[in-house]
Amino acid sequence: MSSAGIAVSRIRADEPVISPRFFHNALDLSFAESIVVFLSVSGNMIPLRVFESDSIESVKLRIQSFKGFVAKSQKLVCGGRELSRSDSLVRDYGVANGNVLHLMLRLSDIQTVNVKTTSGKELMFEVGRYRDVGYLKKQIAQRANEFVDEDDQELLYEGKPLDDQQIVDDICKNYDPVLHLIVRRPANIRVQRVEKNLDEWSVEAPKLGRNRPYDEIAAESVLVSSNVCEKDFVLEPVVANPKAEIPSAVLEVMEKTREGLEKGNAPIRSNEGSGGVYLMQDSTGLGYVSVFKPIDEEPKALNNPHGLPITSDGEGLKRGTIVGQGAFREVAAYLLDHPSNGRRGVTGETMGFAGVPPTGLVSCLHKGFNHPNVVTHKMGSLQKFVKNDGSCEDIGPGSFPVEELHKISVLDIRLANADRHAGNILFRKDNETGRTILTPIDHGYCLPECFEDCTFEWLYWPQARQPYSAETVEYIRSLDAEEDIDLLKFYGWDLPIESARTLRISTMLLKKGVERGLTPYEIGSIMCRENIKEESVIEEIVQEATDSVLPCSSEVAFLETVSQIMDRRLDEISG
C-alpha cells in the first residue's frame, strides 16, 4: 500500500471547520439529507457534499471525477480510522457534518523517463521517483555500453542542464519527461585533500567538437566540501534477549544495509505507504536491499511524514492495534512464519511457509529520516527488499497459483491480519518457470486485540474457494499457538493477553476449519465482517463465550468455552 499526495491538516476530525453561516449556505433545501465534509488534500480543505447513505466507493468515485485521483489509489481516513470497506456507507463509519476526511494517495514509486541522445536514439527507463539524476546516469551507463561513463554524461531538460542531486519526481510533474543526453569527452579530474573535509578538485576538460554546448569548458578549479571519511549513520540490531539469536537471513539484510549506508547511499523515502517507509540502498547504489519503517513515523505517530493527525487515544489506524507497535508486529510475522519443514533455528531454512521477507528490529540514525524536531536514533523494522514486478493491486488474480494464495491465507488467518489488501502482496514472475510468486508484506496490523477490522482481500479471489492441499493441511496441523506466544516472548515481545487470545483463537479456528475440509474462503469469511455494522462469526463466538463464563474464569476455561461454541458453529457451516 502506498500513499503520496497527502492530506496535511492539523484540524482534528471532530472539530467544526466551517462557520454556521457557511453551513447555512451549503445546505439548501434540495440537499436536506446531505452532509458537508471537508477533504484534506495536501494541506487544502475542500468542502464536499455527500449523503450519509453514500458508499465509501461512491465518495471515492466522486473525488476521482473532480480531482482526477483514481478511486483505487485513494485511502480515506476520518477520526483516526481508515474508511477501508468500499461497500460500507458513510453513516456506518459515523462520518458527520463538518468532519475532515484525510485523503492519501497510493501512487506508484516508479516513474518512466525517456532519454534522447544527440543522435536521436531514444531509451526508456523506469526509475524510482525519489532517485536522483546521478542514479539515472548510472542506469544509462549500464544499459548501453556504447555510452561512456556516467561522469561524462550531461542530462538536459527543457534545454537546462540537470544537477546530479535533482530528484526525478521534481522534474516529472505528473508526466513522463524526455531528457536529452549529451556525452562529454572525459575530463581530467585531479583531487587533492587540502585539509580535513576540504578537497581541491582540478578539472581539465578538453575542447569538444562543434555543436556541443560544452565547447566553452576550460580548465577550472573548485573547492568541494566532502564528508567521505565521516560516518554519519548508525545501524544496530535491537536485542531484547541476548540468548535469542537473530536469524541469519536478518543479520545478512542488516549487514548489506550497513554496507550501503557506509558507501554514502542514503535512505530513499518511498512514495507509497501511509507511514514513513524508507528504501535502503545497497553498496552500489543501484539496487535496494531493505525497507526500514520507523515506529515514530507510523500513521498517527508524532513524526508521520504524511501529516496524519496524531493519535489521541493510542489506537492505530486499525481497531485493536497500538501506534508505535507496528515494528514488533512486522518482526512477529516473520518469526511466526515457520518454514514448511520445521522450525527456523532447527532446519536452517530461512524462508517461512508464507514467504514473509526476513525482518528484524533495528535502531537507526540517519539525517535522511523525517525527524523535524530532534535528531535521534529511530527504532523500527528492517525488512529484506524483495524484487517484484508490482503488487496484486496492479493485476487481476487470475494468474496466481492456488498454493501461492493459500500460503498467504494461512498466515493472515493465523495472525488475524487487519491490513491485507492487494497492495500488500507483491508479485514476481519467475523467468525460468514462468510461475507467479507472491510475497506478503506490511504486517504492522497483525495480531490485533480484537477481530473487528480483519479484512482479507484474497477472500474474493477464485483460488480461495479451492480446498487446501494435503501439505498445507499438514503444515496447519503442526502449528501451536502456545509455542508461538513463547517464541515471541523469547524474542522480547510479551504479547498482551488480548493479542495472545487473538492468536490462540485464530489458530484454533484454522485447525478446526481444515479438519472439517473448509476452504480458505469459508474460514476467512468467519473472521471478516461482511459489512462494518454486523459482527463477524468469530466475534459472535467470542461474545457468546464471554457471556457464558464467569468474570473470574481463567483464560484456559474461557478458551475451552470458545472451542465448544466454535465446534457448534463450524458444524452448522460445514454440515
Ligand X SMILES: Nc1ncnc2c1ncn2[C@@H]1O[C@H](COP(=O)(O)OP(=O)(O)OP(=O)(O)O)[C@@H](O)[C@H]1O
The residues binding ligand X (CB under 6 A) are: 1-3, 270, 272-275, 277, 291, 357, 383-386, 388, 391, 419, 423-424, 426, 441-442, 444
Q: Rounded to the nearest 5°, which phi and psi values hold at 68?
A: 85, 0
62 with 49: CB under 8 angstroms? no
Smallest distance from ligand X to CB 340, Å: 20
Cα 24 vs. chain centroid, distance in angstroms? 42
319 with 452: CB under 8 angstroms? yes
Q: Which is nearer to ligand X, 441 or 459 (CB)?
A: 441
Smallest distance from ligand X to CB 560, Å: 36
Measured CA to CA, the distance from residue 238 to residue 233 in angstroms comes to 16
Smallest distance from ligand X to CB 155, Å: 26
Q: Which is nearer to ligand X, 54 or 272 (CB)?
A: 272
Q: Which is nearer to ligand X, 272 or 404 (CB)?
A: 272
Smallest distance from ligand X to CB 442, Å: 3
Q: Which is nearer to ligand X, 391 or 536 (CB)?
A: 391
Q: Which is nearer to ligand X, 291 or 503 (CB)?
A: 291
Q: Which is nearer to ligand X, 9 or 391 (CB)?
A: 391
Instruction: List helix spans (H) across 379-466.
Output: 402-415
Smallest distance from ligand X to CB 389, Å: 11
Q: Which is nearer to ligand X, 139 or 424 (CB)?
A: 424
Smallest distance from ligand X to CB 351, Å: 13
316 with 445: CB under 8 angstroms? yes
- Cell for 389? 514486478
Smallest distance from ligand X to CB 36, Å: 27
Smallest distance from ligand X to CB 248, Å: 18
Q: Rounded to the nearest 5°, which phi and psi values hold at 214?
A: -105, 20
Nearest-Å Rg of the Cα atoms of the chain is: 27
Please tell me whether residue 236 adopts helix, strand or coil conformation. strand
Measured CA to CA, the distance from residue 99 to residue 144 in angstroms comes to 54
CA angle 553, 516, 425 (to 5 degrees): 90
Measured CA to CA, the distance from residue 87 to residue 57 in angstroms comes to 6
Q: Which is nearer to ligand X, 93 or 147 (CB)?
A: 93
Measured CA to CA, the distance from residue 425 to residue 375 in angstroms comes to 33
Q: Which is nearer to ligand X, 202 or 388 (CB)?
A: 388
543 with 566: CB under 8 angstroms? no
What residue is closest to ligand X based on CB? 1
Smallest distance from ligand X to CB 384, Å: 6
Measured CA to CA, the distance from residue 203 to residue 221 in angstroms comes to 6
Question: In this structure, which long-range contacts are made by residues 562-568, counting pairs with CB atoms below 8 Å and at least 24 apart in sequence?
Answer: 562/505, 562/508, 563/508, 563/512, 565/541, 566/505, 566/508, 566/509, 566/512, 566/541, 567/512
Smallest distance from ligand X to CB 364, Å: 16
Measured CA to CA, the distance from residue 250 to residue 258 in angstroms comes to 12
Q: Which is nearer to ligand X, 75 or 406 (CB)?
A: 75
Cα 380 vs. chain centroid, distance in angstroms? 13
Smallest distance from ligand X to CB 244, Å: 22
381 Rama class: left (phi>0) / alpha (psi -120 to 50) / beta: beta
Residue 25: partners with Cβ closer than 8 Å, 6 or more residues away? none
Q: Which is nearer to ligand X, 140 or 408 (CB)?
A: 408
